[in-house]
Amino acid sequence: MDATAPSTHSYDVVIAGGAMAGATLALAIERLTQAKLSVAVIEAAIPDNTHPGYDARSIALSYGSCQLLDQIGVWHGVAPFATAINTIHVSDRGHFGFTEMHADKEGLPFLGNVIELADAGRVFHKSLSQAKNISLFCPAFVTDITRATDKVTLTLNDGQTLTTKLMVAADGALSSCCDMVGISRHEHDFEQVALIANITTSLPHQGKAFERFTESGPVALLPMSEGRSSLVWCVKPQDVPALIELSDKAFADKLQAIFGWRLGKLLHVGQRNSYPLILRQATQLISHRFAAVGNAAQTLHPIAGQGFNLGLRDVITLAEEIARAHNEQQDCGDMALLQRYLQRREPDRNATVAMTSGLVHGFSNTSAPLILGRNLGLAAMSVFSGLKAPLLQRAMGLVER
């Protein structure tokens, strides 16, 4: 359903941001309430390769995330574009420790799947446009938010006015909607920059993902379609200009020296992009008739690929609480609902943020005792599966919501 005529509209839920988090929330509400609640999605950019939420990057969806997307009827549209992760190999460059996780040993079809964000954008945008009770305002963005006791009034850039019982910010790491309602954010600069590119290798990846820790930061290669691998190479900020300016062959040679030969020779490097790695956390996930989800709630370091998977657990949990309120004929913007959402999400959020930040600092440290300790840990995990279990559970997204 398209919303185009300038006027005032009223909705049960309005979501600012129509990329992965916002789109998933809208579709989850539609599915869990049998389209009984009216939802508006406000999205500033039409999804294509230039959309900031659907750019050249790929994301790794954990096994648990794939299950959640299946539960809300979205996975069947995403699956044709997904490449399964069957094995995860974790190592520490220049040291003896490593461990592997295998889907077949866990009795699972896969540990996760990799999908290009551009493909996901098209699938989600189509699903939104075909939904029964979701109105899509695109391109549009929120310019003003006014909250009263029983409603929120939003003004869009084209002058349209929306009223809603619940406003949800899913508008990215620097959420303007959070700014408008006075929710600030904590920031921690990891002093690393992620270089991303698609890589072709001489040996087939066979569904194997690699996470390799180096002195400057982790290097990850994720399996993609057409035999490609998606590179995330975390480096020090001062090293970025020289790496970006290298020829494709020189860049591949440099990466080869860091990553090694587990996928054979690195044959081709696609377009390179970079972005700074900063942990951002909203100081509040909820406020009066307001909630933050996805990157608006927290933006993590890409180590262990937890960012979107954590955000997806936020989104599905909020949708469940909204559906519960609807089924019990309660106000879907009530603070009691938002408090339940917060209580369910805080333990997972805190644990995931602590794990990712701990991995970054622990594996970037060059202290000899710490190097020995982490390599003994990796070696022990490869022998004693019980030690691997907590990390594996979180990597697979099988955590309590």
pLDDT tens for 22-31 read 999 999 999 9
Q: What is the model's pLDDT at position 51?
A: 52
Q: Is-contact 292 183, C-beta < 8 A? A: yes
Residues 239-251 have pLDDT tens digits of: 999 999 999 999 9
Digit-coded pLDDT (tens) for 289-315:
999 999 999 988 776 567 789 999 999
Rounded distance between C-alpha atoms, residue 10 and residue 90, angstroms: 50
Question: How much of the chain exceeds pLDDT 70, in percent?
Answer: 83
Helix (H, G, I), strand (E, B) or coil at 330: coil
Region 340-361 average pLDDT: 82
- What is the C-alpha to C-alpha distance for residues 394 and 222, in angstroms, rounded to an integer? 18
The segment with the largest mean pLDDT, out of 224-228, 258-262, 335-339, is 335-339
- Report whether 146 contacts 153 (CB < 8 A): yes
Q: Which of 69-99 are b and which e, b meaning 16 or more Cβ less than 10 Å from the residue's Cβ? A: beebebbebbeebbbbbbbbbbbbbeeebeb
Residue (of 306, 307, 344) closest to 322 by Cα position:
344
Please give the radius of gyration of the chain, using alpha carbons only, rounded to the nearest integer. Answer: 21
**Alpha-carbon torsion, ordered 20, 311, 17, 196, to 10 deg:** -60
| Least confident residue range of 179-183, 200-204, 225-229 | 225-229
| Residue located via tokens 């999605």 | 41
Delineate the domains of the chain, giving CATH numbers in brackets: 8-83+117-186+278-360 (3.50.50.60), 89-113+191-277 (3.30.9.10)
Q: Are strands 286-287 and 290-292 parallel, antiparallel or unpaired?
A: antiparallel
Average per-residue pLDDT for the chain = 86
**Residue 336 scores a pLDDT above 60:** yes
Angle CA 116–276–236, to nearest 5 = 115
Average pLDDT over residues 119-129: 89
DSSP string, 38-103: -EEEE-SS-SSTT-GGGSS-EEEEEHHHHHHHHHTT-HHHHGGG-EEE-EEEEEETTSS-EEEEET
Q: Which of 24-28, 97-101, 116-120 has the lowest mean pLDDT?
A: 97-101
Q: Which of 89-103, 318-332, 357-371 has the lowest mean pLDDT?
A: 357-371
Closest CA relative to residue 399, chosen from 26, 103, 75, 63: 63
CA separation for the pair 57, 9 (Å, rounded): 35
Q: What is the CA 204 to chain-centroid distance, rounded?
A: 26
Q: In this model, does residue 108 exceed pLDDT 70? A: yes
Between CA 277 and CA 232 the distance in angstroms is: 11
Residue 300: per-residue pLDDT? 82
What pLDDT score was predicted for residue 190? 84
pLDDT at 395: 64
Q: How confident is the model at residue 390 (pLDDT cuts 50, 70, 90)?
A: low
pLDDT at residue 304, as a whole number = 57
Which residues share a beta bridge with 222? 230
Mean pLDDT of 329-336: 96
- pLDDT for 358 equals 61
Tokens of 8: 């005032």
In terms of pLDDT, which residue wins out, 112 or 395? Answer: 112
Average confidence (pLDDT) over 309-335: 96
242 burial (CB, 10 Å; 0-12 / 13-18 / 19+) is: exposed
Query: Helices 117-130 & 20-32, crossing angle to 10 degrees?
Result: 40
166: Cβ contacts below 8 Å, ≥ 6 apart: 12, 13, 14, 152, 289, 290, 291, 322, 332, 333
